[in-house]
Chains A and B, each alone.
Chain A
């Protein structure tokens, strides 16, 4: 669209274009000189576009700047130390980071099957009249603030899920070691655990994974769907042969995006867990942690080194989520460009 207003390049001068001599018809060069207003306008827009780089760059820069003190104080042991005792210069993310990843993984294990089935339900099985309403509902689920998830998880889910947790550990704990609860059978040994935090985070990433997967599923080419039916396929056969292969890239991207969101989720996790600074091996036991929850719970400590340590932890979180999200973006974009060539 913009080519009319841009100082357009003449076709004749392009090296790839054959030049057949002066008697040939050559597309006329259209030059529309940009007015000063246009130049100003484009400059302003370019600044706005580049502001995204500026903001992300500043986030990285200031986290590094503010985190340097802490990193200098403890050096590489920031990555290997499990404790978080800033006054004693004895802190690191060796426990917090894997525990946070564990919460995210549990969330994914629960959320992905539910989200994929829901996405298939909305795009393939739900009555056509219900589809728009269901899509709105999923979007609404994504719009519910995380503190509401936290309230719900803490007051509604946790008291009710304890029975299930006890059931899991009593009947499966002996065969599957990480489901064991070693702290005895009292009510508080089942609460505030990695598992419960994972369940709540799972609810928060269901809408993200669902809506992205549904979008790619619904773009599966109609002709191939009908082809599958015409060959006598059942609906599930069609989904497995057409829709799922078509949406594979998008689904992988959606799961990665959900993973990034699950890692960064703060408030619901911080409300539910009771902080622990040991590497979690038994997910049903009381005590869990993640970088974001650590920041939310500890930022009140006013001395400079504590804040600096939190900034350093935030930098690690920022770098990890950025990596995951950019990778997810690439996967999704690639699947989209593949989609256009499929039909």
Chain B
């Protein structure tokens, strides 16, 4: 969703007040080439040295206090104390050279930089840690080709794998996508195209549903589908629970995209006499297609990693089961949940390998969403542009070929070219 925001404005660049010396007017005698652009903001050598000095000084002080003077120990505490001392040291250093406002500004800059870096480091660490722990089991091919049927607690890492979980995950995700996408997109069209009094409460409820605790979705399907209606726990039940989780995500993301479709396109369609559903089907949806795909893929990325709904509804099994409608069916999150709690290192290694697989799946879906979502509604890919050009050219050629043969202007060629231009509604000029 966030890719569709307005581009960040660059005008917040002029940072702190520049020292008066830096805006010197070049000497009168100098030739015109000495006129260089004055750089506002940016990083000066002074800034770098202040940060580095505060870092080094606080490290030394912290080492002295933490390790030698005070009875402290532990790496985590060391880092926390170092950071606090660093902020204090930076404040002191800054106070020596700058005014009060300037120091406050710099302090916030440093704090926001460090929290940004912290978040980035956390993500990198998470991905890296799961990848390195997961590699142990995932490097053996059998992890992707075998199930856990023949594998006991102490079997070596070269036996057993997560094929059943991968197949189960993909099937459940596929079914959930099948249910959630039409429903979600239809609800989004309802909110943006039909509207009316109901649109607002629907939107509020969809937003609340996005944050529905996943365990409640699982409980719901458990209560309705399995306890009340008496169906068995299966991959199908799990996909229903996933549908409850995915549908609001798809709806919200899709609504944002559909709202971005230019109103002029709709008006053009109505002016041509198109009915509302023709307009939505032939104009609005094709124009919003890349964004809609992004919405769907983001929903899928969310759905594939959900554990708690699956935990309550699909039932665990170590067997391979490709039939989502009967018997228990395991999926990747459930596989991890079950094996990570066992006291055997091989089992934990398998769980981490499954975690790695799951993360790769999520990453693939996420990157796909980003790549597809990079375009604005109505902006065409190069291939689509080529296709439209080709169609237009062939229609023209057909018209030219048909013209000399008869005295009457051939109706077929005209409709063909009209058709070609009708499919080309999201013209590049609209973007």
Interface residues of A (CB under 8 A from B): 1-2, 4-5, 32, 34-35, 37-38, 40-42, 44-46, 48-53, 55-56, 58-59, 62-63, 65-66, 113-114, 117-118, 120-126, 128, 131-132, 134-141, 143-149, 151-152, 154-156, 160-161, 163-164, 166-168, 171, 203, 206, 210-211, 215, 218, 222, 225-226, 229, 232, 234-239, 257, 260-261, 263-267, 271, 292, 295-296, 299, 307, 310-311, 314, 317-318, 321-322, 325-326, 329-330, 333
Binds A, one of B155-163, B193-201, B388-396: B193-201
Q: Is B108 a contact of A155 with CB atoms below 8 Å?
A: no
Q: Is B213 a contact of A266 with CB atoms below 8 Å?
A: yes
Q: Is A264 a contact of B216 with CB atoms below 8 Å?
A: yes
A211 vs B3: C-alpha distance in the bound complex, in angstroms?
Answer: 12
Q: Is B212 a contact of A48 with CB atoms below 8 Å?
A: no
Q: List 13 A-B contacts (CB under 8 A).
A: A2-B194, A38-B277, A52-B205, A118-B112, A123-B8, A143-B366, A145-B333, A149-B126, A152-B126, A154-B340, A222-B11, A235-B109, A325-B208
Binds A, one of B54-62, B68-76, B321-329, B419-427: B68-76
Known: A58-B224, A148-B130. 13 other contacts (CB 8 A): A53-B201, A124-B112, A132-B8, A137-B123, A146-B307, A151-B352, A160-B75, A164-B77, A225-B12, A295-B312, A296-B215, A321-B211, A325-B208
A206 vs B48: C-alpha distance in the bound complex, in angstroms?
Answer: 29
Residue in A52, A137, A147, A236 whose beta carbon sits within 8 Å of that of B104 in the complex: A236
Q: Is A144 a contact of B305 with CB atoms below 8 Å?
A: yes
Q: Is A295 a contact of B115 with CB atoms below 8 Å?
A: no
If the complex has contacts A203-B122, A239-B108, are A147 and B224 also in contact, measured as CB distance less than 8 A? no
B-chain residues with CB within 8 Å of residue A137 when the two chains form the complex: 119-120, 123
A24 vs B80: C-alpha distance in the bound complex, in angstroms?
Answer: 77
Q: Is B276 a contact of A237 with CB atoms below 8 Å?
A: no
Asked if B149 is an interface residue, CB under 8 A from chain A, the answer is no
If the complex has contacts A52-B248, A121-B116, are A151 and B355 also in contact, measured as CB distance less than 8 A? yes
A122 vs B109: C-alpha distance in the bound complex, in angstroms?
Answer: 11
Q: What is the minimal beta-carbon distance from A286 to any residue of chain B, in angstroms?
A: 17
Q: Is A296 a contact of B186 with CB atoms below 8 Å?
A: no
Within 8 A of A (CB), among B45-88: 72-77, 80
A-chain residues with CB within 8 Å of residue B28 when the two chains form the complex: none
Q: Is B119 a contact of A266 with CB atoms below 8 Å?
A: no
Asked if B2 is an interface residue, CB under 8 A from chain A, the answer is yes
B-chain residues with CB within 8 Å of residue A211 when the two chains form the complex: 2
A-chain residues with CB within 8 Å of residue B126 when the two chains form the complex: 144, 148-149, 152, 156
Asked if B298 is an interface residue, CB under 8 A from chain A, the answer is yes
Q: Is A234 a contact of B101 with CB atoms below 8 Å?
A: yes
Q: Is A62 a contact of B224 with CB atoms below 8 Å?
A: yes
B-chain residues with CB within 8 Å of residue A299 when the two chains form the complex: 222, 311-312
If the complex has contacts A164-B74, A292-B308, A326-B204, are A140 and B123 also in contact, measured as CB distance less than 8 A? yes
Within 8 A of A (CB), among B99-129: 101-102, 104-105, 108-109, 111-116, 118-120, 122-123, 125-127, 129
Residue in A32, A49, A139 whose beta carbon sits within 8 Å of that of B191 in the complex: A49
Within 8 A of A (CB), among B279-306: 279-280, 298, 301-302, 304-306
Residue in B2, B10, B76 whose beta carbon sits within 8 Å of that of A135 in the complex: B2
If the complex has contacts A125-B109, A167-B73, are A311 and B123 also in contact, measured as CB distance less than 8 A? no
B-chain residues with CB within 8 Å of residue A168 when the two chains form the complex: 77
Q: Which of B111, B205, B248 is most buried by chain A, counting CB atoms within 10 A of its CB?
A: B205
Interface size on B, residues (CB 8 A): 116
Residue in B15, B125, B227, B340 whose beta carbon sits within 8 Å of that of A156 in the complex: B125
If the complex has contacts A44-B186, A49-B191, A50-B198, are A121 and B307 also in contact, measured as CB distance less than 8 A? no
A203 vs B297: C-alpha distance in the bound complex, in angstroms?
Answer: 23
Residue in A4, A171, A229, A322 whose beta carbon sits within 8 Å of that of B267 in the complex: A4
Q: Is B190 a contact of A45 with CB atoms below 8 Å?
A: yes
A-chain residues with CB within 8 Å of residue B266 when the two chains form the complex: 1
Q: Is A321 a contact of B213 with CB atoms below 8 Å?
A: yes
B-chain residues with CB within 8 Å of residue A114 when the two chains form the complex: 115, 118-119
B-chain residues with CB within 8 Å of residue A314 when the two chains form the complex: 215-216, 219
Interface residues of B (CB under 8 A from A): 2-3, 5-6, 8-17, 72-77, 80, 101-102, 104-105, 108-109, 111-116, 118-120, 122-123, 125-127, 129-130, 133, 183, 186-187, 189-191, 193-195, 198-199, 201-202, 204-209, 211-217, 219-220, 222-224, 227-228, 244, 247-248, 251, 263, 266-267, 270, 275-280, 298, 301-302, 304-308, 311-312, 333, 336-337, 340-341, 348, 351-352, 355, 358-359, 362-363, 366, 370
Q: What is the minimal beta-carbon distance from B130 to any residue of chain A, in angstroms?
A: 6
Q: Is B115 a contact of A117 with CB atoms below 8 Å?
A: yes
Q: Is A152 a contact of B116 with CB atoms below 8 Å?
A: no
Q: Is A257 a contact of B194 with CB atoms below 8 Å?
A: no
Q: Is A329 a contact of B9 with CB atoms below 8 Å?
A: no
If the complex has contacts A163-B76, A295-B219, are A117 and B16 also in contact, measured as CB distance less than 8 A? no
A265 vs B11: C-alpha distance in the bound complex, in angstroms?
Answer: 39
Q: Is B216 a contact of A317 with CB atoms below 8 Å?
A: yes
Q: Is A163 a contact of B112 with CB atoms below 8 Å?
A: no
Q: Is B220 a contact of A62 with CB atoms below 8 Å?
A: yes
Q: How would you classify the secondary structure of chain B's contact residues: helix, strand, loop or mixed?
A: helix
Q: What is the minimal beta-carbon distance from B425 to any residue of chain A, in angstroms?
A: 15
B-chain residues with CB within 8 Å of residue A266 when the two chains form the complex: 213-215, 307-308
A-chain residues with CB within 8 Å of residue B280 when the two chains form the complex: 41
Q: Is B267 a contact of A117 with CB atoms below 8 Å?
A: no
A226 vs B14: C-alpha distance in the bound complex, in angstroms?
Answer: 10
Q: Is A163 a contact of B74 with CB atoms below 8 Å?
A: yes
Residue in B2, B105, B348 whose beta carbon sits within 8 Å of that of A236 in the complex: B105
Q: Is A139 a contact of B336 with CB atoms below 8 Å?
A: no
Q: Is B224 a contact of A171 with CB atoms below 8 Å?
A: no
A271 vs B189: C-alpha distance in the bound complex, in angstroms?
Answer: 40
Q: Is B76 a contact of A161 with CB atoms below 8 Å?
A: yes
Q: Is A45 a contact of B189 with CB atoms below 8 Å?
A: yes
Residue in B73, B112, B337 whose beta carbon sits within 8 Å of that of A117 in the complex: B112
A63 vs B227: C-alpha distance in the bound complex, in angstroms?
Answer: 12
B-chain residues with CB within 8 Å of residue A260 when the two chains form the complex: 211
Q: What is the minimal beta-carbon distance from B118 to any residue of chain A, in angstroms?
A: 7
A-chain residues with CB within 8 Å of residue B6 when the two chains form the complex: 218
B-chain residues with CB within 8 Å of residue A37 when the two chains form the complex: 275, 277-278
Q: What is the minimal beta-carbon distance from B128 to any residue of chain A, in angstroms?
A: 10
A-chain residues with CB within 8 Å of residue B105 when the two chains form the complex: 234-237
Q: Is A210 a contact of B119 with CB atoms below 8 Å?
A: yes
Q: Is B358 a contact of A148 with CB atoms below 8 Å?
A: yes
Residue in A41, A51, A329 whose beta carbon sits within 8 Å of that of B207 in the complex: A329
Closest to A323 in B: B208
Closest to B10 in A: A128
Closest to B336 in A: A147
Q: Is A264 a contact of B108 with CB atoms below 8 Å?
A: no
Q: Which of A154, A167, A237, A311 is most buried by chain B, counting CB atoms within 10 A of its CB?
A: A167
Residue in B108, B116, B202, B275 whose beta carbon sits within 8 Å of that of A126 in the complex: B116
Closest to B244 in A: A55
